[in-house]
């Protein structure tokens, strides 16, 4: 089965904005319909409902795990609405042996955060949830005694990082009994202005794909040991909150110097696209998606939105240049963008090289045939000579999952199209 990653929110903490919700992405990696969520900003449950796809619609009640990178509000304020949505109204009699419907993993504090809001809002549900905290050796333990728990909560694990490298290994996983696929999740500390975690999803069975999903960071090197074990990461999702855009690209509207932007980005604990590209190079990532995009860089909305398109393209080029992997191109995420990591990678040699090149081109030319907002900034490349019909035929699933999965293609109803135009 292919891995399918859908971005429900791609804004930095300055959002939500008119074109982006804040951080939330969905990984469909188990292959049995279960979904895993990484971060859960305010409005994430609504992002599900707006994700209109009749044939491959994401449904909150398919969520079985939520992984939280850090406690900043733009990453966690949607958790309680998600729980309320999927745990259902209370039954008259609760079954004490009922297993948790959803597991939440996150740093110290996430258990108290969820528990206290559920208590304060008098929330009662029939299904249960559980929170497992990833703790360092200095973090306090949040008790899970009978008098501490919320009525919908089961006692979670307190998972201590290893003393040697500060990593949390094998915190979770899944096995698809039908396909035989086995996954485990590891986590590692990454540097942000407050404690932050990156997650690594590893496939133990062939083809041994690996996803590296980072929270906010200015230095994720703490997670490198997990990236280096086994096969290189199939996909790195790295934040790129801010950057300097040259005068000729943004028509001189930005007065900020490159040095000022870099310093401010670092001061806030964030990264530039160049830093994301450099890290992708360091861990030999095979794909790079830039996420957590600053409010200065909204997604293009209309076909004539050339300034936004040019800026997003510039961001992608900065990361691609620092990445320096021939034939591959970094992609700036936008809400509802989907990335597919195929079960069968292209052949090695010339075919693979060509396919990789098309991946980059396709990713930047995700337009023209998509009846939704995805066509936005991709129109520019679609009109270029590189977008030949031959290349389109060979286009990879990397950037056009909806096309790759023809049986699950994205199809907007007429009603929906009308709504989009009304914006």
Judged by the rule CB under 5 A, the positions of this chain that interact with Zn ion are 13, 72, 74, 216
Which lies closer to Zn ion via its Cβ, residue 6 or residue 291?
291
Which lies closer to Zn ion via its Cβ, residue 72 or residue 115?
72
Question: How far apart are CB 134 and Zn ion at their closest, in Å?
Answer: 16
Which lies closer to Zn ion via its Cβ, residue 14 or residue 232?
14
Which lies closer to Zn ion via its Cβ, residue 153 or residue 216?
216
- Which residues fall within 8 angstroms of residue 159, CB to CB, at 6 or more apart? 105, 132, 133, 134, 135, 168, 171
Question: How far apart are CB 268 and Zn ion at their closest, in Å?
Answer: 8
Which lies closer to Zn ion via its Cβ, residue 13 or residue 109?
13
Which residues on neighbouring strands pair with residue 203, listed in sequence order? Answer: 183
Which lies closer to Zn ion via its Cβ, residue 74 or residue 362?
74
Question: How far apart are CB 12 and Zn ion at their closest, in Å?
Answer: 6
């Amino acid at each position: 089965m292919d891995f399918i990653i859908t971005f429900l929110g791609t804004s930095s903490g300055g959002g939500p904005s008119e074109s982006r919700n804040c951080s939330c992405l969905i990984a469909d990696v188990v292959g049995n319909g279960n979904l895993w969520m990484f971060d859960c900003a305010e409005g994430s449950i609504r992002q599900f409902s707006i994700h209109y796809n009749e044939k491959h619609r994401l449904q909150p009640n398919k969520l079985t795990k939520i992984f939280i990178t850090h406690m900043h509000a733009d990453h966690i304020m949607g958790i309680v609405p998600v729980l309320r949505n999927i745990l259902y109204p209370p039954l008259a009699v609760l079954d004490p042996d009922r297993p948790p419907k959803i597991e939440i993993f996150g740093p110290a504090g996430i258990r108290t955060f969820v528990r206290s809001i559920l208590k304060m809002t008098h929330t009662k549900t029939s299904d249960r949830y559980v929170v497992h905290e990833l703790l360092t050796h200095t973090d306090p333990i949040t008790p899970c005694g009978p008098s501490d728990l919320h009525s919908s909560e089961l006692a979670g694990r307190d998972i201590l990082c290893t003393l040697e490298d500060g990593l949390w290994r094998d915190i979770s996983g899944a096995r698809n009994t039908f396909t035989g696929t086995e996954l485990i999740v590891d986590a590692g500390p990454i540097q942000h202005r407050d404690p932050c975690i990156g997650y690594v999803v590893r496939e133990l069975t062939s083809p041994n794909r690996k996803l590296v999903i980072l929270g906010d960071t200015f230095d994720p090197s703490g997670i490198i040991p997990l990236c280096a074990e086994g096969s290189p990461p199939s996909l790195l999702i790295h934040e790129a909150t801010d950057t300097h855009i040259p005068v000729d690209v943004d028509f001189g509207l930005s007065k900020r110097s490159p040095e000022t932007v870099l310093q401010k980005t670092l001061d806030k604990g964030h990264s530039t696209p160049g830093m994301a590209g450099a890290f992708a190079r360091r861990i030999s990532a095979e794909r790079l998606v830039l996420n957590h995009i600053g409010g200065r860089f909204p997604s293009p909305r209309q076909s004539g939105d050339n300034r936004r398109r040019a800026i997003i393209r510039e961001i992608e080029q900065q990361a691609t240049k620092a990445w320096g992997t021939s034939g591959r191109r970094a992609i700036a995420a936008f809400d509802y963008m989907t990335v597919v990591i195929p079960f069968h990678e292209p052949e090695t040699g010339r075919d693979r090289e060509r396919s990789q090149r098309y991946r980059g081109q396709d990713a930047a030319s995700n337009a023209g045939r998509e009846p939704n907002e995805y066509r936005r900034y991709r129109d520019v490349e679609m009109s270029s000579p590189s977008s030949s019909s031959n290349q389109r035929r060979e286009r990879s699933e990397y950037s056009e999952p909806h096309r790759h999965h023809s049986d699950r293609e994205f199809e907007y109803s007429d009603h929906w199209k009308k709504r989009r135009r009304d914006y």
